[in-house]
Amino acid sequence: MFETVPPSFEPLRHLQIPSDIDVPFDFSCGIEMLDLNQILIDKLGIDKEKNIRLCRSCYNQLSKGHLPAESLANFRWLGDVPEQLKSLTWIEELLISRAHVCGSIIRLGQRNNPNAFLGIKGHVVFIPQDTTRLIDLLPMAPSSLPDVVKVVWTGKSAPDKNQLRSRFNVRKDKVYNALKWLVNNHEDYKNHVSINETMINDWDPEFVAVELLESIGRVSDPSAEDACRDGFAMDDPDNDDNADDLPLTSSGIVDTNNIAEIPDSTTLARLAQLKDDITINVITGSKILNQYDCPTYFTSAFPCIFPYGTGKHLDPRRQHKLSLLAWVTLLLRHSSRSACLQTL
């Protein structure tokens, strides 16, 4: 439910950004009174008559003189994605990310939609990753890509790697310009990341990530391709052979290239499913990065979702703390920027 209020609605002053806080982008909404007073309102929540639509929860909290925990003014602002970070391929984004908290398995097959990359099904998949530190020299070497992503080919015939080369293409200028923008504008990259100019200078203007292409695995049984679409499964609980604990065999399919859904929404949905009992890291002798005490855990891993590094899940300046679940839920709610009306 929403409440429509005029821009003169006095409690809106609780959405004012303090003068000593630097918001790294222009958040003016076009309403003079709000802009002059540094009041942060999402532009998509303003109609043609310049009235503002607030969700019932935020309206009630503002009316009581409180800053809503869900509001962007509660240190949740992200900013629009700049041109330099738009249209990056999945490989190019991996090369410029400071952390890789999600390993990806990409399945290619003879019967696939030529534009789709689908996840494969299984019980437990281990992808060893160095999650002990944030990378401070970027871009990542293309030879390291097999450490964070695995490509599997399904089909009776062997993959024609010459036909697949376009799917593993990297554009030098796109990667370099994205990195330069991040180093100048992203909280996690400023004063922390150096660009490996020597390596980039050795790149061709466009090249294929050969190491990843050559690492393709193969599943020759085409029935596996159909089986992976079965969704979630569990053994029959009424089976008399099940005497004690029920043997669970969960399975699923993940659109890892975000073809079927909005890219940001898909990634955030995967973050929302992170639980203590499904994340396993085994590294000896080092402290592992984790979401409980590392504010840059997500913003460094997904720079195209958090272009300025703002809106972190942990921020000591936040008046109202947000749990990880609440933080991800709000990001999901606001991820479809061009289609959905946002709260504040």
Mean pLDDT of 289-295: 82
What percentage of the chain carries pLDDT values higher than 90? 42
**257 close to 116: Cβ distance less than 8 angstroms:** yes
Give the C-alpha distances (Å, rounded to integers) separating 104 from 120, 148, 234, 253: 10, 7, 24, 12
Q: Which of the two residues, 114 and 29, has the higher pLDDT score?
A: 29
pLDDT digits (tens, 9 = 90+) for 101-160: 777 777 776 555 544 444 444 445 555 556 667 889 999 999 888 888 888 787 777 778
Q: Which among 307, 326, 321 is positioned nearest to 77, based on CA atoms?
A: 307
Q: Which two tokens stand for residue 155?
A: 């089909």
Beta strands in 47-148 (DSSP E): 52-55, 104-109, 137-138
Confidence of residue 299 (pLDDT cuts 50, 70, 90): very high
pLDDT digits (tens, 9 = 90+) for 150-206: 887 877 777 787 878 888 899 999 999 999 999 999 999 999 999 999 999 999 999
- What's the pTM value of the predicted model, to 2 decimals? 0.74
**235 close to 169: Cβ distance less than 8 angstroms:** no
DSSP characters over 192-213: T-EE-HHHHHHS-SEEE-HHHH
Q: In a 10 Å sphere around its CB, with 0-12 CB exposed, 13-18 middle and 19+ buried, how is residue 51 labelled? A: middle
Q: How far apart are CA 151 and CA 149, in angstroms?
A: 7
The mean of the pLDDT values for the chain is 77
pLDDT digits (tens, 9 = 90+) for 39-71: 998 888 888 889 998 888 889 999 999 999 999
